[in-house]
Amino acid sequence: MLISKIKKIAIAGSMCVCASSALAGYDFEVGEDGKISFGGYIKVDARYVSGDVAYRDFWIGTGTPLSEDASQFRIFANESRFNTKYVHGDVTGFIEMDFLGGGGNQVVSNSANPRIRHAFIKYKGITAGQTWTTFMNTSAIPESADFAGATVGLAFIRQGQVRFDAGNFQVSIENPESVGGDTANDDLPDVVARYNLKGDWGNVSLSALGRSLNTTMGNTETALGGSIAGRIKTFGKDDFRFQLHLGEVGRYVGVGTASDLIGEEVESTTSYLAAYRHYWTDTLRSTVLYGRVETDIADAERTQWSVNLFQNLTPQLAVGFEVGNFEMGDKNVDSDYAQLSMRYAL
């Protein structure tokens, strides 16, 4: 195929450092109705963690308690990613990879294995492949230097699925998996239904989740949960982002905090996040956020808060500094962190 034209495009607006694809990309027109796009970003982080929760490059819903306080500093670029989108008429294919797949060492090479983030096909309202769960509203993820930012308060899963979109309504069957159950007999997909409300004021999503969970004793339990999440425009370019998740949502929320089953019982979870982003100038902004998750059987309690400052040096290059705290209340441990990030959107 002959590449006939190359042009650079800029996508307006700013999105979360962790969850968005590139803020800019390169389009190659192929034939009369085809296009290939390349995008991604390079992100470099310098991170310092001090406290009695062991160092992690980014916080998730669990951690390693320490008997004594410890401090650690690290510089890394593993969050960097690249993606390719293929469009031919009504058919779109998208694949994205980053370098959080592990491997390597910090002694000599600092190698990291690439991993698939997204790989899906879209055709006339049908999406098939691996991407964000339909239960998740990505616009409600706050801008943060820490990857994802308060994952304890987020619905946050990528997995295989088949999704149908009809206007503001979405329904999907998704890959079944459970924490604490008998996964060898997962014979029914998870089902998600979602309705989106959109306007000049922002957006709000209402989601429902239904699953069939198999216990290790051979019983089958039904798990039901719900979510409301959104991004509301406030004053000027400011916005308020929120998420609330209730019920037997298990692995879908909190990134490792909750189990789906504990013994023969289905665990219930309450998780929420609130974040406000304020623009000091057209390119300088701050986000303050707070997230928390609680479970009813294991009695897990995890919280995270942070405040940051981001500045765009150019439309493609942003720098940010963030301080915050991650706490495992049920373990009576917590750690403070400070992180400096630089991101160049391709």
pLDDT at 217 (0 to 100): 86
- Geometric angle at alpha carbon 102, from 304 and 175, rounded to 5°: 75
Distances in Å between the alpha carbon of 44 and those of 83, 98, 174, 334? Answer: 18, 13, 33, 25
CA distance 323 to 308: 6
- Going residue by residue through the chain, which has 346 residues, state the pLDDT in tens, using 9 for 90 and above: 333 333 333 333 333 333 344 444 788 888 778 899 999 999 999 999 999 999 999 999 999 999 999 999 999 999 999 999 999 999 999 999 999 887 777 787 788 889 999 999 999 999 999 999 999 999 999 999 998 788 999 999 999 999 999 999 999 999 998 888 888 777 899 999 999 999 999 999 999 999 999 988 888 999 999 999 999 999 999 999 999 999 999 999 999 899 999 988 999 999 999 999 999 999 999 999 999 999 999 999 999 999 999 999 999 999 999 999 999 999 999 999 999 999 999 8
Could you state, in order of their start, the residue ranges of all structural domains in the chain?
41-78+128-345
Exposure of 278 in the CB half-sphere (CA atoms within 13 A): 6
- Contact at 8 Å (CB) between 91 and 85? no
pLDDT at 27 (0 to 100): 83
Residue 60's CB: how many other CB atoms inside 10 A?
A: 18
- Geometric angle at alpha carbon 142, from 52 and 346, rounded to 5°: 105
Which CATH number is correct for 41-78+128-345, 1.10.8.80, 2.40.160.60, 2.40.160.10, 3.40.190.10?
Answer: 2.40.160.10
For 40, which DSSP code? E
pLDDT at 13 (0 to 100): 35
3-class DSSP assignment, residue 151: helix
pLDDT at 340 (0 to 100): 98
- Contact at 8 Å (CB) between 346 and 334? no
- Contact at 8 Å (CB) between 172 and 163? yes
